[in-house]
């Protein structure tokens, strides 16, 4: 099993070093872990975004497997087309035996997934393509200037939802894209983080093994957009699970399972203080925004617990 660490370390590295990701980038860690599990017989599609830009600046590539660069909004459609072509070639006996099993993975950030790529993603999932879509969620359009997305949490500072005398950052709650994917009635949907490597590898395995489409939403702390010390990105991913900002769970054939329940849930405020995007909230007069975010996270966690409990 790929979830065995010793086995994983023996797999070929399909994302090379020397790419142009920022120091402390957790996204390259996510890509590397996924590809160690998926293996070389994988076709990768990358929407325009952070991970595409830093790994494929012409004439160089950090990928040691097939890679297709798509537009910002249509990665899911692109990969679904490749998967369809593969099935057609297989049906007509035009593939060598060793190529009759391939993985198809589409990668997109939250801007290209929650927002401008949602229609493409929804269509691919509804049609039932045998592919995995991975969203690396860094809570904003980081590659194009740190604009707010529908994944940005309330109170966060972005270039299009700035904090100042007239505003406290983004005012809306986050979109729950993971539940939107569950509503497509696809075989497998899950959330995880790069800190929880074994959980991530297990979920990649399940996603690639199921018949039909699968979706993974992976938290990607961004040192540039979140404004934190580059050394603590993975720790912030861990803490986001412990304070319930980013629950780790899976939905397999409609059945919810929470993979990690914090024994002692930590508060959001200490986690937020480590990120410059929330710095303004700790000035007098903004306490209500922190309270709102804490209450929202608590409410969402209770809803998730109920979804799991109601199935028993």
Please provide the average confidence, as pLDDT, over all residues in the chain. 96
Look at the pTM and tell me if it is higher than 0.75: yes
Q: Treating both helix axes as pointing N-terminal to C-terminal, what angle do 197-209 and 27-38 enclose, rounded to 10 degrees? A: 50
pLDDT of residue 6: 80
pLDDT of residue 180: 98
Digit-coded pLDDT (tens) for 135-171: 999 999 999 999 999 999 999 999 999 999 999 999 9
DSSP β-ladder status, 214-219 and 188-192: parallel
Digit-coded pLDDT (tens) for 205-258: 999 999 999 999 999 999 999 999 999 999 999 999 999 999 999 999 999 999
Query: pLDDT band for position 7 (50/70/90)?
Result: confident
- Rounded alpha-carbon distances, angstroms, from residue 238 to 109, 194, 242, 258: 20, 8, 7, 15
Burial code (b: 16+ CB inside 10 Å, e: under 16) for 199-212 equals bbbbbbebbbebee
Answer whether residue 100 shows pLDDT above 80.
no
Contact 135, 102 (CB under 8 A): no
Alpha carbon 214 to its chain's center: 13
Answer whether residue 9 shows pLDDT above 90.
no
Query: pLDDT band for position 312 (50/70/90)?
Result: low
Query: pLDDT band for position 8 (50/70/90)?
Result: confident
Question: Can you tell me the mean pLDDT for 90-95?
Answer: 92
Percent of the chain past pLDDT 70, that is, above it, reads: 99
Query: pLDDT band for position 3 (50/70/90)?
Result: low
Fold assignment, 5-309: Rossmann fold (3.40.50)
Answer whether residue 74 shows pLDDT above 70.
yes
Tokens of 277: 């995007």
Distance, in Å, from the CA atom of 101 to the CA atom of 118, rounded to the nearest integer, reads: 28
Question: Can you tell me the mean pLDDT for 189-208?
Answer: 97
Answer whether residue 311 shows pLDDT above 90.
no
Answer whether residue 297 shows pLDDT above 90.
yes
Answer whether residue 2 shows pLDDT above 90.
no
Q: Which stretch of 72-81, 96-105, 216-225 has the lowest confidence by average pLDDT?
A: 96-105
pLDDT of residue 96: 85
Percent of the chain past pLDDT 90, that is, above it, reads: 92
> How would you list the strands of the sheet with 249-252, edge to edge?
66-70, 42-47, 103-109, 132-137, 214-219, 188-192, 249-252, 255-258
Nearest 10 degrees: CA dihedral of 175, 179, 180, 181?
130
């Amino acid at each position: 099993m790929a979830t065995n660490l010793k086995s994983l370390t023996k797999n070929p590295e399909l994302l090379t070093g020397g790419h142009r990701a920022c120091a402390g980038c957790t996204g390259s860690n996510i890509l590397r872990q996924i590809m160690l599990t998926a293996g070389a017989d994988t076709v990768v599609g990358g929407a325009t975004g952070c991970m595409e830009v830093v790994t494929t600046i012409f004439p160089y590539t950090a990928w040691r497997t097939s890679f297709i660069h798509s537009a910002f909004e249509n990665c899911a459609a692109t990969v679904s087309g490749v998967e369809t072509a593969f099935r057609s070639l297989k049906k007509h006996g035009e593939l060598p035996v060793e190529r009759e099993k391939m993985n198809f993975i589409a990668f997109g950030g939250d801007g290209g997934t929650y927002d401008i790529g949602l229609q493409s993603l929804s269509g691919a999932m509804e049609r039932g393509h045998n592919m995995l879509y991975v969203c690396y969620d860094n809570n904003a359009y980081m590659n194009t200037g740190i604009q707010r997305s529908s994944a940005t949490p309330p109170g966060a500072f972005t270039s299009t939802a700035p904090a100042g005398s007239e505003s406290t950052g983004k005012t809306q709650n986050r979109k729950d894209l993971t539940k939107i994917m569950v509503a497509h009635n696809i075989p497998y949907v899950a959330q995880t983080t790069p800190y929880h490597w074994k959980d991530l590898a297990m979920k990649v395995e399940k996603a690639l093994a199921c018949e039909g489409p699968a979706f993974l939403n992976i938290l990607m702390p961004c040192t540039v957009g979140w404004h934190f010390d580059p050394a603590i990105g993975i720790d912030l991913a861990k803490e986001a699970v412990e304070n319930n900002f980013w629950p780790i769970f899976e939905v397999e054939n409609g059945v919810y399972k929470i993979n990690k329940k914090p024994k002692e849930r930590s508060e959001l405020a200490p986690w937020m203080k480590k990120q410059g995007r929330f710095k303004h909230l700790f000035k007098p007069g903004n306490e209500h925004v922190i309270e709102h975010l804490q209450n929202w996270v608590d409410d969402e966690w209770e809803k998730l617990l109920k979804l799991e409990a109601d199935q028993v």
